[in-house]
A and B are shown apart, each in its own frame.
Chain A
């Protein structure tokens, strides 16, 4: 038999039928649902008189609109409140499992799926959310879909898909001290661009990836979409199996053994061919900071804001000029001289326990700088929050002057009250620095959790390697 990639294996095992032009009908094992991209899908089902195909495949939670303070008061914004209430009503009507806003297990969909063991190797998993790529860290084929497809999966348990090309991103070697999974993926996007992965499913491999925890792998797969790839994935190893053991939705007993035996086959075969291979040596990666309005506009923390005059082509030059203007930055400014107004530690990229530990290690015994108006820590789920509190991380943050909040997407996209005001500059552990993403006119710099914490205590970007 020919050598197959992990992606080939995941794909082949889910094909139900193939149309003459090669478009395949693939079966979907798991479906995560949140309040923003589902109401119109449920409405469509109702209009057509259809029911969900397999109720047990769905897990729902509100995350985008939920407030991060005063939860017992409910949601103040009536439009947000209606959207969350609509999710509650739809889940009740169709008998779907939902972790509601007041459930201890509520959180960002991409945090709770893995945390519950709902996400498992060998699965296809979708969600009406582009960062569904996160779940590929478990050797699952996981990707974001639009609302029409949410309805389609609810109604049929399947999707029509064209197979992507395959890309291997190989990160060999050891990461330097203070360099994290976030820096790997930002450096990758800086290298291949936000469209570099378009049309590809990316497998991340190499010794630096194998050395990462599941949290780190999730951070990397999470941002595969920012490189243009719909899906990112990592092969199964001991980290994967250990992480899943004993989780609420993980199989038990004989089924666990049977599952683990299968999971261990979920890796690219020796000699499997990829359409593209990108090598990114781990040793050369430094802590990264984005300077512009696209994740590819990124430089190492000891670098400078680039000069549009040095852009590779005219379209890029225009983009850089516009980005610098929006960001209120001058070419050649050292990154370490950029001050911040707000700091956000959270989002499906970096709100897991390991992320909070890394940030707390920097915050410990220090104070948020006087010029910083707000430093927010928003855990990814109620269970992450609980764990962090058990470890005393909340105390460290609060003593340092950070605010410790309830779980949700929060200032990653500012659909709730957590947002930037026009012109405010933020060090953020989220994944998108688009114009207006964190609030109209807001300026976002993407960094790792440790770098965000360091920016909070110094009031400007600093090389976390000098601080730790």
Chain B
């Protein structure tokens, strides 16, 4: 996993609440057995005017001019500004894979759905929670000033605006540590093998039917 320490990037505003993972990556693309290549189909149904199918050359498809990410000023955005309960719905990790492949490194919203939030950290994406009024302000500033960029500092746990204003955010110490160093969860867990075996041995005694 790519470590995340500090990132400065162009911001794109996605101004709707409850954006679900079906919208982030529609189901027909979940048939892939790979982990990569989902970026061109991120937000497929909003982004293109035709019906998306796996295996198309997306560069030839008609873009929906009304979809915010298609506006020239947001091309190359790497920070996505969103509303409450972002990533609700299905557990598909294809959603963070698609966002990452599209080029997003950080998300900012007042809240996220649990599973999606968790999945982001496994893929080097930092989902930042900021209070709704702050998110409102960032929406206003992004929309008012083309080229609006933010600086996200995971070490300092701050989001800084172009005029120097900084907002602190919370993140679990353990998640922060793993993201800062790009650590592999399984590797860490396997350093606990003895404890897992001891737990299993005890449970085999107490609740033997669980091990049938």
Contacts and interface: CB of A to CB of B under 8 A. Distances in A.
Contacts of B33: 39-40, 43, 82-83, 86
A463 B28 CA distance: 35
A37 B91 contact: yes
A264 to B, nearest CB: 14
Given A160-B174, A162-B172, A414-B27, A255 B208 contact: yes
Given A146-B122, A415-B31, A316 B89 contact: no
Contacts of B114: 198-199, 228, 230
28 contacts: A19-B174, A21-B172, A21-B174, A25-B195, A27-B196, A27-B203, A40-B93, A56-B211, A77-B31, A120-B209, A120-B210, A129-B90, A143-B115, A146-B93, A152-B186, A162-B172, A198-B85, A228-B113, A251-B212, A294-B20, A316-B17, A415-B27, A432-B22, A432-B89, A432-B90, A435-B45, A436-B23, A437-B22
Given A130-B90, A152-B189, A415 B30 contact: yes
Interface in B197-212: 199-200, 203, 207-212
Interface string A434-452: 1111001000000000000
A468 B96 CA distance: 46
Contacts of B189: 25, 152, 155-156, 158, 160
Nearest to B172: A21
A43 B211 CA distance: 26
Interface string B65-93: 00000000000000000011100111111
A145 B27 CA distance: 17
Contacts of B51: 440
A446 to B, nearest CB: 13
B18 interface: yes
Interface of B: 15-18, 20, 22-23, 26-28, 30-35, 45, 51-52, 54-55, 83-85, 88-93, 96, 111, 113-115, 118-119, 122-123, 172-175, 185-186, 189-190, 192, 195-196, 199-200, 203, 207-212
Nearest to A159: B189
Contacts of A36: 30-31, 92
B173 A20 contact: yes
Contact of A16 (B32, B118, B196): B196
A440 B119 CA distance: 25
Contact of B185 (A122, A143, A152, A249): A152
B84 A146 contact: no
Interface of A: 16-17, 19-21, 23, 25, 27, 29, 36-37, 39-40, 43, 48, 50, 53, 56, 64-65, 77, 79-80, 82-83, 86, 120, 122-123, 128-130, 132, 143-149, 151-152, 155-158, 160, 162, 194-195, 198-199, 228, 230, 249, 251, 255-256, 258-259, 262, 294, 315-316, 318-319, 322, 413-415, 432, 434-437, 440
A194 B19 CA distance: 11
Given A50-B186, A436-B22, A79 B88 contact: no
A195 B111 contact: yes
A120 B209 CA distance: 10
B31 A79 contact: yes
B93 A147 contact: yes
Nearest to B122: A148
B115 to A, nearest CB: 6
Nearest to B34: A40
B28 to A, nearest CB: 7
Contact of B186 (A56, A80, A151, A199): A151
